[in-house]
Structure 1
Amino acid sequence: MSIFVLGIDLGKNVCSLVGLNEAGAVVLRRRLRRDAVTEFVGSLPACIVAMEACCGAHYLGRVLGSAGHKIRLMSPEYVRPYVKANKNDDRDAEAIAEAATRPTMRFVPVKSEAQSDIQALHRARSRLVAERTALINHLRALLLERGIVAAQGRKRLEAQLEVFADEDDPRLSSRMRLLVEDLRAEWRSLDRRIAAFDKEFVAMARENEATRRLSTVPGIGVINATALVAAVGDARSFGRGRDLAAWLGLTPRQATTGGKPRLLGISKRGNRYLRANLIHGARAVLPRIMAQDTSLGRWVRGLLERSHKNVVVVALAAKLARIVWAVLRKERGFDPTIAAA
């Protein structure tokens, strides 16, 4: 039995394995518990091991890669067209193996343990930020039900709540005042936990050369720099800057019929967290770039003359993604004097 490519459909407890020979014929079908996959595949001669880039795939890819196998991870949406007839785990594994043999298939690089750790920290911080936002919205709704319109902005609301804590307001009952104080304590706890993550990201950015170079790009701060390095790595998996922007969902969708292309809104594909952070960074740095007499500044001013500000912000985010690719690939900091518009 000679296996050329082994497709693994990862499950929480049980995984399906299908092996193909060089002619594409199925020579192996096996179902194993997840903890037995490493031992079984490790005992096989070196071959291509293909998996969907889902939870646990990067860890398994690192383990099996160290055993001499060639790892190929793919986006699940690229595997779906190869599933035959009714979907089941065995056919999914066969589809994964078949998709991995296609010469035009796009593969996902296996992330290192350090990259996975940084991504886990970013997900934890993002969850805390979402919890804080939900808590603040809950506080606003609670006050509005008592006829109190909270000030816009997180800092203003925090100051307004401090006044309620010091002064008796007839619109709030004693029980509601206790509830507000309890929510304020939870808010302060979330602030401390988020600040601890931010401090850790700052330390990481100082120690890593790639993040230091990315920090020279306008709109790319510590959060963006560490998240990009964790998700993108050295950017060698992208042939050009536009590919990275497209992977982040910052390029327009295209609908072509009868030879007439029509550009729609951005695709919003890929990593939502990175895309949102790049757009926030572009929005924050837009006024400063507009005031600069550089090719990027002139490009932004020309775009503002014919497009809405929100459109310009997204276009600038896509431009920043291309600059990020160039900085990572060329391994040098951002130079606004030579940045191409």
Structure 2
Amino acid sequence: MLLPPKFVKAFRQGQKTDANDVLAIASASQAYNVKPCKIMTVEEQTLQSLSQARTLVDKQKTQLSNQIRGLLLEFGVVINQGDAALTQVVPDILEDAENALPIALKQALAVSYDLYKTQCDAKAQLHKQVEAITKQNESCQRLMALEGVGPIIAIELLSFLGNTSQFSDARGAAACAGVTPTQHSSGGKAKIGHIPKRRGNTLRK
């Protein structure tokens, strides 16, 4: 039986040692509300790894974009939002020999912009790979038939939900996907809130 690390951590007493970890695992395994983790298949692990690789590339692309905009903003150069505006303006700025930007800044921006373009190409390549997999996977095709579910969300759902045999009901699967509302109950009164942004497994766009 595999136990979630976050669940086991609540049972650990004292510092993190092998002995304390063993005691925490033993205590957590006896808890009435323990929910074991399912063992992922090779296919599910592959889909999850592909999604995580794409997410990292997209995050790094955004970071580079924000850095370039921020550095230029310090010198009074404002770039509109969007990748198209960035790719249209930055090359002209780097090639313009008459602007007041220091040479050292232009050299640093050129390095960051080359990295940005590399990440854009990597993201496009990974996205094509995701689309190719979803076209060949029957389960992904059924998930994409749902409103609002595209290739990325379909792969995410399939990777951690699997064949759903580990869930006793639909609510358990919904909770794992993070689409259940928050609840605060006290004194016999239950207060149901909204669906939080971060709950369960956060789906990546």
The alignment's TM-score, normalised by the length of structure 1, stands at 0.54
Q: Does 1:213 align with 2:125?
A: no
CA contact (8 A) 1:79 1:95 kept: yes
Residue 228 of structure 1, CA deviation: 1.6
Letter of the 1:99 counterpart: A
1:235 — aligned with what? Answer: 164
Matched, 1:271 2:201: yes
Task: Provide the rounded CA distance (Å) in 2 between the counterparts of 1:169 and 1:227.
Answer: 49
Other-structure match for 1:143? 72
Structure 2 counterparts to residues 262-301 of structure 1, below 5 A: 262-267=191-196, 268-272=198-202, 274=203, 276-277=204-205
| Unaligned stretches of 5+ residues in structure 1 | 1-71, 278-341
Q: Which has the higher contact order (CA 8 A, sep 6+)?
A: 2
Work out the CA distance in 1 between the residues paired with 2:107 and 2:31. Answer: 63
The whole-number CA distance in structure 2 between the counterparts of 1:140 and 1:81 is 42
Q: Which amino acid aligns with 1:164?
A: I
The 5 Å alignment of 1:124-163 reads 124-163=53-92
Assess if the C-alpha contact under 8 Å between 1:119 and 1:227 holds in 2.
Answer: yes
SS across alignment from 2:2: strand
- Aligned residue pair count: 203
Q: 1:261 to 1:179 in 2, by over 3 A?
A: same
Bigger strand share: 1
Alpha-carbon separation, structure 1, partners of 2:10 and 2:105: 56
Whole-Å separation in 1 of the counterparts to 2:61 and 2:81: 15
Matches within 5 A, 1:184-263: 184-263=113-192
What amino acid does structure 2 have at the position aligned with 1:134? Q
Q: Deviations over 1:219-276 (max 9, x none)?
A: 211111112211211122223333223223332222222222223454523222x1x4
Q: For residue 127 of structure 1, what is the amino acid of its counterpart?
A: L
The TM-score normalised by the length of structure 2 is: 0.85
TM-fit CA distance, 1:203 = 1.8
Query: Structure 1: which amino acid aligns with 2:81?
Result: Q
- Take 1:179 and 1:91, find their aligned partners in 2: how far apart are those partners? 49
Larger Rg: 1
Identity of aligned residues (%): 28
CA shift digits 1:66-123 (9 cap, x unpaired): xxxxxx112223334554x545422432442443355653121100122112212222
What SS does structure 2 have at the residue aligned with 1:252? coil
For residues 174 and 214 of structure 1, the distance between their equivalents in structure 2, rounded to whole angstroms, comes to 52
State the SS of the aligned residue for 1:151. coil
Q: Secondary structure at the match of 1:161?
A: helix
Which amino acid is 1:236 matched to?
Answer: S
Q: Judge conservation of contact 2:64–2:113 (CA < 8 Å) in 1.
A: no
Residue 42 of structure 1 is matched in structure 2 by none
Mapping of residues 21-60 of structure 1, within 5 Å: none
Which residue type is aligned with residue 130 of structure 1? Answer: K
- What are the ranges of 5 or more consecutive residues in structure 2 without an aligned counterpart? none
Partner-residue secondary structure (3-state), 1:172: coil
**Matched AA of 2:40:** K
Shift in Å at residue 143 of structure 1?
Answer: 0.7
Q: Which amino acid aligns with 2:4?
A: S
Q: For 1:191, give the aligned amino acid.
A: C
- 1:256 aligned counterpart, secondary structure: strand
Structure 1 residue 151: Cα displacement: 0.7
CA spacing shift, 1:177–1:81, aligned 2, 3 Å: closer
| Corresponding residue SS for 1:255 | strand
Deviates more, 1:180-189 or 1:167-176: 167-176
CA distance in 2, matches of 1:220, 1:161: 34
Distance in 2 (CA, whole Å) between partners of 1:113 and 1:250 is 26
1:73 counterpart = 2:31: no
Measure the CA separation in 2 of the matches of 1:115 and 1:130. 22
State the match for 1:328 in structure 2.
none
For 2:10 and 2:111, the matched residues in 1 are separated by: 52
- On the 8 A contact 1:151/1:160 being kept in 2, the answer is no
Q: Residue type matched to 1:224 in 2?
A: I
SS in 2 for 1:261: strand
Distance in 1 separating the partners of 2:194 and 2:24? 32
**Which amino acid in 1 is paired with 2:63?**
A
- Cα distance in 2 for partners of 1:78, 1:138 equals 37
